[in-house]
Chain A
């Protein structure tokens, strides 16, 4: 076998990095995904899809990838990850509007540093807590930041700050001033590169001894402590890394939107959306949160142009994911693929599916009738 091809369990795998070996199918999917990402500007030009909405979705997806480090591995649910996204965005906006920093990369760096600082502070206070206490603490810190920004003249209250150092034009990228279309395109490709690198780093991280330790912490903190893992410290570090991803996404969001205000970046609902993105795309996977980000942002910002009751659409999607795709869009693909293959081989299974759905509905109705009877008559 060559350096890039290895044999595992009798099957040829493609080795991308040390320890990163993909099956042929996975390699094709990854390559297709990468090509798709690079073709997005052209695809949107010919299909009428919104380029900006997809770009925004990828950025929120990147924040969801960061959140997923906590969710998937330490099994901690953060309700406050918009804090880092928002601080990343505001870090860039403050440098642009108060200090006239014109380099996009410096603005991004400023945003990431600000988010990292906040993540270090918040992480220190929340790392020792579990379950609902952890969730509520992260939410509380998120709300404190939101309220602080909303009431502060330095951050221009709810009207927010512009990310246009000279008032009208976007920041420079790679030392050059771009036209509006050029800026959007370069920023998009830069985002794609950042996303791919971030995914590779995350993959490395979760497949390292540190990642395994996080898994152990998620499964049982007490046992993890017994085997010598400094649980709080590791959770703290994971929290900070997660915050850095949020800050990176927020900084890029500021460069894309060129205006940052509290509601779309720091509000607690945004935290909920980031969490939903991870679940929607499949929090058991590495790339799922990115898919979830694109799908949810598209539903939130583009659906109003096509569907009158677009909020119901988001709700129905959530219901459908919880009921039918509990492992998310990407996480469910293998199961759906296997199921479809089995039904192709044995069409008789389709009849069983219909019977199963029918009996499930019958059971639901029976349960509902019983509940109503208990409520009305007090006894079953």
Chain B
């Protein structure tokens, strides 16, 4: 909120207030979503005898890899009070670039780098439009979604490409522990979340991300470069979408221009379930990972319990509304 009052006293008071708020935001643990996850697991453990098996749990992890990685980028953007509707489309274009180039006899390593570069570049374009031109993230990424989806169809000639290169399929390989299969992709997912949790909590950049989302004006007044922080977030997210594309090929050895049409909303669902505020500036990255897991635990568990897809959607949707309700309650009673 802008006030017409300026001056050092107000500046330093704001500074202190902002610091206090940040400290609180960073301390907010992912305890809510973790409890929900725990309840869900216990419920399915009681009501089915096939949910809590090593094989099924490792499958739930694998099912969370692509959306989990997309949700990580989405989390960063939502922390800056933005939103990204184009992440699924960007990842799909990434898969098409990687798979098509390799399919046409190109070097898989080059194909991979180009795929990552394209995704990162699209993040940069989104970021410039949002941070530099000040356009609303919703509008920018809605436009990007439409454009990128069409480009994927054009570039792929609207066909899907099978992938055989071991490098491109790498994240789908892994280790077998009895009935449990842990793919390298699972380790990467956990590793990425660990890395970003550390960066957000322990580096200046991480604190700046929280600050520009919570109160951009105050952040500007205490000398944070707001636009370059926001831009760096979109570029980072774009790169993560490229990684998600690589992960997706490991999961399904096929790049399909029609895939992941609902990944944008699913990644937002994971972020919201994880307790991150859509108003920016508050939330935890680990919460997002748990949010992604909750969605897939619900799907898997309800399937084991013999519930059809549509009822599963009812449960997931209800859960999201409850999570947002909790978020509102928290905002009213907490940081305002």
Instruction: Indicate whether A and B interact.
Output: no
